[in-house]
Each structure stands twice: as structure tokens, then as C-alpha cells.
Amino acid sequence: MSIISTKNVDFYYGDFHALKGISMEIEPNTVTAFIGPSGCGKSTFLRLMNRMNDLIDHTRMTGEILIEGQNIYDKTVRVDELRTKVGMVFQKPNPFPKSIYENVAYGLRVNGIKDKDLITHTVEESLRNAALWNEVKDKLKKSAFELSGGQQQRLCIARALAIKPRILLMDEPASALDPLSTSKIEDLIFTLKNDYTIVIVTHNMQQAARVSDKTAFFYLGELVEFDDTQQIFLKPKIEATQNYITGRFG
């Protein structure tokens, strides 16, 4: 039973047809990588899964996206509830101008949790899960901006984990980081797979190959090929995929 299921998704920015008939099934507790050249629609598709594109004016979507069997674009769905189920980590680290502790606690507070012990416990747990606890446990009250870029990104992951989502969407989470921080994030993705379903957009072929179970190749708004990562990287069925992976275009 798939946790995310999309059926014939079309998406438009004004007149621009950004996604063309995308259908995809994503299994729970897997890592799915979206690859493809810039502007191919992979980030747009990712942002449809927590309705982040609602914020952009003059956009239109047709088709269905089901998460745990529910159409998330149904009128009865509350967007803020959906987003607590589908967490997101962004391309650039974007901590709030608050303390490290408050950054992680924010998601709990806005969702109405007031129990201090519960919050403190969850903050610690989330920071541990994001492999950041040991580095920040003595400076939880310090501003999040004092952390390095890689630490900030792990803080953002901890922040997303704190509200216990089922799915974690990651939009090029390591593209702004140095190799060492990148490898830390990749290790993290590997462990998080046990508890979460992860969808990651990446420009980095090796990264997709290293962390994902399944890979989807997008090109010009279409889903060209979607298969096991090994299959995609070793024996792609379609020539365009082959060309992209081997770096002949893109």
C-alpha cells in the first residue's frame, strides 16, 4: 500500500505547463529521489505534496494527490493539518531568528502543545534524531544563526521532525553545504528512513545513487522514468535517462 499516490497531476504557472500528467506511487519507509535538469518540474512536484504551491499566485492544478488514501486537494482538508503530516526541509537552511531550542519547539507551539516537559523532551529527541544534540546541547538558548550552515540545516531537519510527520520532503537539502556537512545529512537520511517516508529532490547524481531506494527522472515537466535506484543508474530503460545520468546533457 503506497503512502503517496499521485494520479495524472498537471500543474500550470499561469500559461506555463509545468507538470504533465504525473502518476507515481511511493511506498512507506523508502527514500525516493527526484532528479532532472533545472526547470524540469521536480521541485514543483515535491511542493505539491504539502500544498506549498498554494502560496504562489496564478497557479492551477488538475489530477489527484492522495496521501494515506486521502486526496489532499479536497476542499475539506485543512492545509495546516496536512503540513504537520508532511514535513519539509528546504534548499537553504532557513532557521527562524530565535534560539536553537525555540526553533525546534516552534512547530509544537503553533500546533497548540503547551506541556513544557513534553516540549523539552521532544526538542531533545528531535535534535538527537537529527544528529545535532551533542553539538548544541550546551547552547540551546543561543541564536540559531550562530550555527554553521550544515548545523543550521540539521536544525531545520530537527525542526521538521519535532512535529512527527509521516513524510519528509527535502528540496535539495545539501545543495548549499560543504562536502562534510553533505555527508552528515546523507547519513541522517539513511537512519531517518526507518521512521519516515522521505522524498528528496537533488541535483547531485551520486547523492541520489547513495541515499535513495527509488529514483524518478523528470524532464520538461514529464516523468520520464521511475524505478529502483539501482535499475535507473545501472540499466535505465530510456535513453534520455541514460544521457542525463552520464552527464551528456543537463
Partner 1 sequence: MRRFIEKSVEKVLMASGAITSLTILLIVVFLFRQGAGLFRNSVVEENYSLAVNKTNPVEKLTPEEIKNIFDREIVNWAQVGGLNEDISVFRLNDITSYVSEEALGEEMQFLSHHLSEIVDTHPHIIAFIPNEYIRKDFKGKVLDVGKITPSDFFAGKEWFPTAQPAPLFGLLPLLLGTLWVSFAAILFALPFGLAVAIYLAELASTRTRAVLKPVIELLAGIPSVIYGFFGLVVVVPLIQKTFDLPVGETALAGSVILAVMAMPTIITIAEDAIRTVPRATKEASLALGASQMQTIFKVILPYCVSGIMAAVVLGIGRAVGETMAVLMVTGNSAIIPTTLLEPVRTIPATIAAELGEAPTGGAHYEALFMLGVILFLITLFISILIEIISAKQIKQQQ
Q: Is 111 in the site for partner 1 (CB under 8 A)?
A: yes
Nearest distance from C-beta of residue 160 to partner 1, angstroms = 7
Amino acid at 159: R
Q: Is 55 in the site for partner 1 (CB under 8 A)?
A: yes
Distance CA 97, CA 118 (A): 23
Among 15, 74, 80, 138, binds partner 1 (CB under 8 A): 80
**CB nearer to partner 1: pick between 81 and 228:** 81
Nearest distance from C-beta of residue 84 to partner 1, angstroms = 4
Q: Is 154 in the site for partner 1 (CB under 8 A)?
A: no
Q: Is 94 in the site for partner 1 (CB under 8 A)?
A: yes
Q: Is 3 in the site for partner 1 (CB under 8 A)?
A: no
**CB nearer to partner 1: pick between 79 and 234:** 79
Nearest distance from C-beta of residue 153 to partner 1, angstroms = 12
Segment 212-241, which members bind partner 1 (CB under 8 A)? none
Choose the binding region for partner 1 from 83-91, 119-127, 194-202, 207-215 (rule: CB under 8 A).
Answer: 83-91
Among 3, 72, 88, 185, binds partner 1 (CB under 8 A): 88
118: Cβ–Cβ under 8 A, 6 or more apart, which residues?
108
Nearest distance from C-beta of residue 224 to partner 1, angstroms = 28
Within 10 angstroms of residue 56's Cβ, the number of other Cβ atoms is: 11
Task: Name the site residues for partner 1 (rule: CB under 8 A).
Answer: 50, 52, 55, 57, 80-81, 83-84, 87-88, 90-92, 94-98, 106-107, 109-111, 145, 156, 159-160, 163
